[in-house]
Every structure is written in structure tokens, then in C-alpha cells.
Amino acid sequence: MACKLNAASSQWIGQQSFTQRNGSSTRLSTRRVSFPIQAKAYTDELIQTAKTIASPGRGILAIDESNATAGKRLASIGLDNTEVNRQAYRQLLLTTPGLGEYISGSILFEETLYQSTTDGKKFVDVLREQEIVPGIKVDKGLVPLPGSNNESWCQGLDGLASRSAEYYKQGARFAKWRTVVSVPCGPSALAVKEAAWGLARYAAISQDNGLVPIVEPEILLDGDHPIERTLEVAEKVWAEVFYYLAENNVVFEGILLKPSMVTPGAEHKEKASPEAIAKHTLTVLRRRVPPAVPGIMFLSGGQSEVEATLNLNAMNQSPNPWHVSFSYARALQNSVLKTWQGRPENVEAAQQALLIRAKANSLAQLGRYSAEGEAEEAKKGMFVKGYTY
């Protein structure tokens, strides 16, 4: 089948030399192999968006909990899971004065992307005024993966292109897709391949529609394995992810990664120090992530607020080829929820609690954080077995 060339196509496989038989003699000839890789309309914008998000001293506030997960958060402070309560909570977070100093992007759930404050201002505009880039969770969640060791795969590719185009129109400029890999379940080669391929297809579709894809294969904390085992699994997972990202012609300068930190399993007998976690995590990243990638934005994965900040700080003690920062949900929101308790008179104090965490992580991004004076509440772990998002 002849392939119509896009005039803007500039990348080719080839200018390749190959041997051609000509009667009895063999001669070398140079031919252009016509496999155009479509130049992406949004490339410059994607690169700029990724750079803005990966700017010094800033990271991502993830508030993209599905309605079911948001319900669990609200239930922890005795609130019903209604749209009004979800709006009130997200309004509290997003209207925090001064948030933009520490936060460069915020991942929203679809409901919030299309929602406004109680005074009628769109949440996307609230964010833009603080120079925070609005993002959107686009995956449709995890379901069992038949033929695996009780593992899962992430749904959401069907219709993703048209959904992404709509999200862009609504103001989103980056996307997130979270899939998981379980160490105690193997992981099986099938589950790793499926996770990597799904992430790569999603990334290509997002870029095609102007959204910077956050690539998030979360290696779950569940298990009693040592840190070395997590390292081994992370190496395998990231190798496959980058292999398929390249196969799908994803522009590396226009993506962001969201890895889990390399830690021992949550039920392992010994805890690891921030220095050990930083050493193992950076080892994997240096081996697997090209410096073309602008930013590594870690998830917190059930670590306590202080642990997540200390570990990030340890990773920024010497220069890295990429911006190493945060994209936390639980590790930015826990103290906020506890302070708020659903009461209007606590909103200001809850916003202060968010600023304290955001500033601490901003300092950790710059390698200048100290845990001195941190509240006891911020040191409590939040690990939940088999956590869903």
C-alpha cells in the first residue's frame, strides 16, 4: 500500500545502503526508504508545556481521584460523597493563595476539569491565573488481566483521541495514565508488556492531541521483598516502557515520567533510609531514562508526607540530568483533609497546611529541605494494601 507523505515529514528510517542484485554483479546503491514518521503539529508546544511543569522548585499537585476514591477521602472526615462536597474540597485546594510558587501543574479528574468554583469561576482559569498548568487523568482504571498471575491492565484507549481533543479545548495541557505492576504477583512478562504498550499508545495519542503525557507505571509498594528486588523489577519495566515509547515515535522531550520510588516492599522487615532509596531510585533512572526527558515527577504511593519529602530531597543532593520533582496526591493532601474536617471556618488553616507541604516539597526539589519541626501527623504512613486510584 502506498503511503501518502505528509509535507511536514522530516524524519526517515533510512538513507540506507543496501545491496541490489543486478544480473551476475552485485552493486551498492543508496535508496531512501519511504517510511515517514508524521511530524506532530504540537511538538513545540508540548516541549514548552513539559518545561513549564518541570520548572525549578515546583512540582505537581495531583487531585485526580476518581469519584469512588474521592468518596473514601471524604468519608475519612465524615463527609458524604456528593458533587457539592467534592467541589468544596477541590475549591479549597485550588484557590490556595500563593500555590503557584510551588506548584506548576495540577492533575484533575474529568468532573473538576469542567467544574467551577461556587462563585462561577472555572477551575482551569483559577489554575491559569496562578501559572499552574491544568492536567487531566485520562485512563479508565484497572481491570483483571486474563492469563496473568492475578494482575491487572489499564483501560482507556478506545475513544482516547477524541476525549483528549475535547480536554485540550477545555484547557488541559497534560494528561496522566496510571497503570500498576505488582512485585508479589511476579510480575509476569505479559503484565509488564501490557503495561508498557498501553502507556506508549496513550503517550502517542496524547501528544497527537496537544497533551503532554505523564507516563506512570506504578510499581506497587505491596509485598515483603527487599529493595534490590524492586530495583530489578523497575529496571525491567522502564526498559520496556522506553522501548515501546520509541516504537510509537513518542517525542521524549514532550513527556514527563511519574515513577514510584525504589523502596523495599511495605511489609519487608527493614525500612530503607532516604539515602538508600535515593541511591537505588537514581541508579534505575540513570540506567533507563534518556536525558531528553525533561522531568521525573514521583508519586508518593502511600509513604508518609515527611517520608516522601525526605526521599525527594535525598535525590536532589547532586545535579541530575532531568528535573526531579513530585506529583503527589496523598503526600500533599493528608494534613489538609485532617485540618479541614469539612468545616468552612477551617478552610484557611487547611490552605496553610497545603502550602506547608507544597513549600517543603519545593525545597526538596531544590535539595534544601530539613524535616525539623514537622508535625507528627505528617509522619504517619498512608499505605493501603491493593490501593486503587
Catalytic residues: 216, 258
Give Cα 190 to chain centroid, integer Å. Answer: 22
91 vs 105: CA distance, rounded Å: 15
Per the listing, cell 462561577 goes with 120
Non-local CB neighbours of 115 within 8 Å, separated by 6+ positions: 87, 90, 122, 123
In the complex, minimum distance from the CB of residue 218 to ligand 13P, in angstroms, rounded to a whole number: 7
100 vs 243: CA distance, rounded Å: 35
Considering only the stretches 50-58, 184-192, 242-250, 322-330, report the one whose residues sit in contact with ligand 13P under the rule CB under 6 A: 322-330
Cis peptide before 187 (omega within 30 of 0): yes
Is 355 in contact with 94 (CB distance < 8 Å)? no
Task: Answer yes or no whether residue 301 interacts with ligand 13P by CB under 6 A.
Answer: yes
Is 350 in contact with 92 (CB distance < 8 Å)? yes
Quick note: the x/- pattern for ligand 13P over 89-128, rule CB under 6 A, is: ------------------x---------------------
Task: Number of residues interacting with ligand 13P: please give it, by CB under 6 A.
Answer: 14
In the complex, minimum distance from the CB of residue 177 to ligand 13P, in angstroms, rounded to a whole number: 10
Task: Answer yes or no whether residue 330 interacts with ligand 13P by CB under 6 A.
Answer: yes
Cell numbers linked to 145: 488481566
- Applying the rule CB under 6 A, the residues between 19 and 78 that interact with ligand 13P are 62, 64
63 vs 142: CA distance, rounded Å: 18
In the complex, minimum distance from the CB of residue 38 to ligand 13P, in angstroms, rounded to a whole number: 30
Considering only the stretches 109-117, 128-136, 232-240, 328-336, report the one whose residues sit in contact with ligand 13P under the rule CB under 6 A: 328-336
In the complex, minimum distance from the CB of residue 5 to ligand 13P, in angstroms, rounded to a whole number: 39
Task: Answer yes or no whether residue 300 interacts with ligand 13P by CB under 6 A.
Answer: yes
Query: With the CA atoms of 79, 108, 104 and 251 taken in that order, what torsion angle do they form, in degrees rounded to the nearest 10?
Result: 150
Query: With the CA atoms of 19, 23, 24 and 25 taken in that order, what torsion angle do they form, in degrees rounded to the nearest 10?
Result: -40
Residue 270 DSSP code = S
Q: Which is nearer to ligand 13P, 40 or 362 (CB)?
A: 362
Quick note: the x/- pattern for ligand 13P over 135-174, rule CB under 6 A, is: ----------------------------------------
Task: Answer yes or no whether residue 328 interacts with ligand 13P by CB under 6 A.
Answer: yes
Is 133 in contact with 174 (CB distance < 8 Å)? yes
In the complex, minimum distance from the CB of residue 308 to ligand 13P, in angstroms, rounded to a whole number: 7
Beta bridge partners of 388: none
The single residue among 103, 306, 324, 329 that binds ligand 13P, judged by CB under 6 A, is 329
Considering only the stretches 117-125, 144-152, 188-196, 323-331, report the one whose residues sit in contact with ligand 13P under the rule CB under 6 A: 323-331
Where does this chain bind ligand 13P (CB under 6 A)? 62, 64, 107, 176, 178, 216, 299-301, 328-331, 389
